[in-house]
Amino acid sequence: MVVVGGGSTGLAAAFALARGPLHVTVLDRRATHVPREQLPEIAAGRRAPAASAVRIQHALRRCANTVFAQAGVVSIDPAKRWLAFRSGGGLRYDYLVLACGDELEDTRVEDGCSIDDEDGASALAESLRADAAAPVVIIGRGAHALSLAGALVTQQHTTRQVVVEQPTQPTVADAPQALLRMARRSLEGRGVIFHDGAPTEPVRPVGCRIVVTQPRRTPDLVATLTETTEPSERLARPDHANVFVPGLSWPRHRAGRHAARCILAELEGAAPPAPFRPFAGATSLSLGPGAAVAQVGRLASAGLAGRALHAMLRAAARAD
């Protein structure tokens, strides 16, 4: 059993797989992982990357029959069930969990940066520390963009202008639409400016820092398997039933756990779990210190109720 990716998706899958009689290998090109939801706080200078980084090997220490190897995977041969490493050599698999998520398109806005990893978030934080009054323009319409806007607008000792440009092109939903709408209303009430659409020549504040969070695409490692970009409800590739792709579904940690349950049920000859449903149950979104929105079923909450629900959901996720 091989899991590619040591983020929240890969770790959730590895934790669940460790409950079965399997040998699990987790691969990642980095030795540490910074949770995606903490990257906006790093970019806003509210959290140090070192304080957020999780050593993947340490996180897996209690998982039986599970090992971690720092290696970058460059290609997959599904016919031979073989993973090729960037450094040479490779690894055979019986089941494969691709826990790598989507990524930014190669075509970026000129002078724009991203906060897809701790390096990008740290670079933005340094840039903003150098100019405490520099406006920030965030391009994107998902949870990552709104969470960054909330973290920036609540910075102390600054009157920084924060603008969110929401392009019209479709993107993978990383939060329920009702939650995103409530988050936008909350941010508008705190002074964040929203521009809908994608004007040919957008009017942006002078000297602004541009942060790009979309458009996004399927990683090459996943796209080379098939022309189909959408996983089935069991999160397995339709053309390769032993390859699971939870990294393209949200919430990702639940998707990783669901993929592992599908594999264990198949190996044990048990009935498969119910089909995966994105955002089933409860989800929440941080909008900076002391601010959050949360949704349980069809009920969405902001203000004190949103903060309380967000704290409860975070605590439950850590315990799980």
Q: Which token pair is 65? A: 């029959």
- Asked if residue 199 and residue 108 are part of one domain, the reply reads yes
Q: What CATH number should be reported for the domain holding residue 249?
A: 3.50.50.60
Residue 47 has a CB neighbour count (10 Å cut-off) of 18
CB neighbour list of residue 181: distance below 8 Å, 6 or more residues apart: none
- Asked if residue 134 and residue 207 are part of one domain, the reply reads yes
- Asked if residue 61 and residue 186 are part of one domain, the reply reads no
Determine the structural domain holding residue 138 and report its residue range: 104-215
- Asked if residue 264 and residue 230 are part of one domain, the reply reads yes
- Asked if residue 168 and residue 85 are part of one domain, the reply reads no
Q: Is residue 121 part of a domain?
A: yes
Give the domain-ending residue among 248, 268, 288.
268
- Asked if residue 126 and residue 73 are part of one domain, the reply reads no
Burial environment of residue 158 by CB neighbours within 10 A (0 to 12, 13 to 18, 19 or more): middle
- As a three-state string, the secondary structure of the chain is CEEECCCHHHHHHHHHHCCCCCCEEEEECCCEECCHHHHHHHHCCCCCHHHHCEEHHHHCCCCCCEEEEECCEEEEECCCCEEEECCCCEEECCCEEECCCCEECCCCCCCEECCCCHHHHHHHHHHHHHCCCCCEEEECCCHHHHHHHHHHHCCCCCCCCEEEEECCCCCCCCCCHHHHHHHHHHHHHCCCEEEECCCCCCCCCCCCEEEECCCEECCHHHHCCCCCCCCCCCCEECCEEEEECHHHCCCHHHHHHHHHHHHHHHHHCCCCCCCCCCCCCEEEEECCCCCEEEEECCEEECHHHHHHHHHHHHHHHHHC
Q: Is residue 141 part of a domain?
A: yes
* Nearest Cα to Cα of residue 221 among 15, 116, 71, 107: 71
Give the domain-ending residue among 147, 182, 215.
215
Number of domains in the chain: 2
- Asked if residue 152 and residue 137 are part of one domain, the reply reads yes
Rounded CA-CA distance 192/258 in Å is 37
Q: Is residue 284 part of a domain?
A: no
Rounded CA-CA distance 175/219 in Å is 20
Rounded CA-CA distance 293/320 in Å is 21
Per-residue pLDDT of the chain (320 residues), as tens digits, is 999 999 999 999 999 999 888 899 999 999 999 988 899 999 999 888 888 899 999 999 989 899 999 999 999 998 899 999 999 999 999 999 999 877 777 545 566 788 888 889 999 999 999 988 899 999 988 899 999 999 998 866 567 899 999 887 666 678 888 889 999 999 999 999 999 876 555 678 888 999 988 867 777 777 766 554 454 556 777 778 899 988 877 888 889 999 999 999 999 999 989 888 877 777 889 998 888 999 887 777 888 888 888 888 777 766 66
Q: Is residue 275 part of a domain?
A: no
Longest dimension (CA), the chain: 62
Q: Is residue 283 part of a domain?
A: no
Q: Is residue 297 part of a domain?
A: no
- Asked if residue 120 and residue 52 are part of one domain, the reply reads no
Q: Is residue 6 part of a domain?
A: yes
Q: Is residue 274 part of a domain?
A: no
